[in-house]
Amino acid sequence: MATGPTPATADPRPGTARPGFLGAGLRALPGAGGLRVERVVPGSPAERAGLVAGDVIVLSQGVAPGSVEGFTTSVRAAGAGSDYALVLRRGARRVPVRARLEAPPEDAAPGSLRVGQAPPGLGSSAVAMGADPVDLSQLRGRVVILDFWASWCGPCRQMMPVLNRMADRYRAQGLTVLGLTDESVDVARTVGMRMNIRYTLASNATAMRSYAVQSLPTMVVLDRGGNVREVTVGTEAPGALSQTIERLLAEPSP
């Protein structure tokens, strides 16, 4: 599923074998206005159920959906294979739908990425804040975290302070963190200033498509040789991420 407008693979819950996944990026409206659908993942349960951008979820399983994070937890708890009942506000109408949830694609790297190989280039990126280069060829010799995020993605915002600390702690040892969004430079800069981001944020309209990113946040970790070493979808425990980064920083430069 997707939420906060993060496709619903955020906030994984250990111990659940097959959590539910909807595949809709959501943004909470003020008050009790519901959750607005900002993005629908192609081929997802949300798309098959007929959700479209602009719909507002006013009921989920018969109750108000609450926050994006709470809704994500509810979808995941319902489990893959469950029918999940929604009531949408679409214009002046209320539309009831049922989505057959699937397991989140957390264990699979996006289709165009291969662990051990170089990722696609980032093409034309506009830096919103920060001083690091966005051209991956200029970052050879450094370990790189590519964090794909969006302003409407609650779990993305949860990861930003973690990435701030990672950037501060390991920058001198050779880590670069790049936050990539397909939203505008102005939106990226506004979020970055509000979150006190200390790593580089850039706007790139095509990177998510070329990296086949379906859910947010997605993090792609590159080694010093510029090759993909890990892909994670959803939030990741800070300790696990630190262990990965420390292991890659200990490897010699090519």
Domains of the chain, by residue range, sit at 24-100, 126-249
Quick one: pLDDT at residue 105? Answer: 59
CATH fold group of domain 126-249: Glutaredoxin (3.40.30)
Note the pLDDT of residue 254. Answer: 78
The DSSP bridge partners found for residue 25 are: 39
Please tell me the predicted confidence (pLDDT) of residue 237: 74
Residue 112: the pLDDT is 57
User: Tell me: the pLDDT tens digits for 41-55?
Assistant: 778 899 999 999 999
User: What pLDDT, on the 0 to 100 scale, is given for residue 4?
Assistant: 37
3-state DSSP of the chain:
CCECCECCCCCCCCCCCCCCECCEEEEECCCCCCEEEEEECCCCHHHHHCCCCCCEEEEECCECCCCHHHHHHHHHHHCCCCEEEEEEEECCEEEEEEEECECCCCCCCCCCCCCCCCCCCCCCCEEEECCCCCCHHHHCCCEEEEEECCCCCHHHHHHHHHHHHHHHHHHHHCEEEEEEECCCHHHHHHHHHHCCCCCEEEECCCHHHHCCCCCCCEEEEECCCCCEEEEEECCCCHHHHHHHHHHHHCCCCC
Model pLDDT, residue 107: 42
Closest CA to 26 of 11, 34, 37, 10: 37
**pLDDT band (50, 70, 90) for residue 227:** very high
CATH number of 24-100: 2.30.42.10
pLDDT at residue 97, as a whole number: 97
Q: What is the pLDDT of residue 208?
A: 84
Evaluate if residue 75 carries a pLDDT over 70. Answer: yes
| Side-chain-facing half-sphere of 177: CA atoms under 13 Å | 26
Query: Residue 110: is its pLDDT beyond 60?
Result: no
Whether 32 shows a pLDDT value over 70: the answer reads yes
Point out the least confidently predicted range of 128-142, 150-164, 191-205, 210-224.
210-224
Q: Specify the pLDDT at position 31.
A: 81
* Averaged pLDDT, 204-223: 86
Q: What mean pLDDT value characterizes the chain?
A: 85
Least confident of 7-16, 58-67, 187-196: 7-16
- Which percentage of the chain shows pLDDT scores above 90? 54
- pLDDT of 41: 78
Give mean pLDDT, residues 140-163: 93
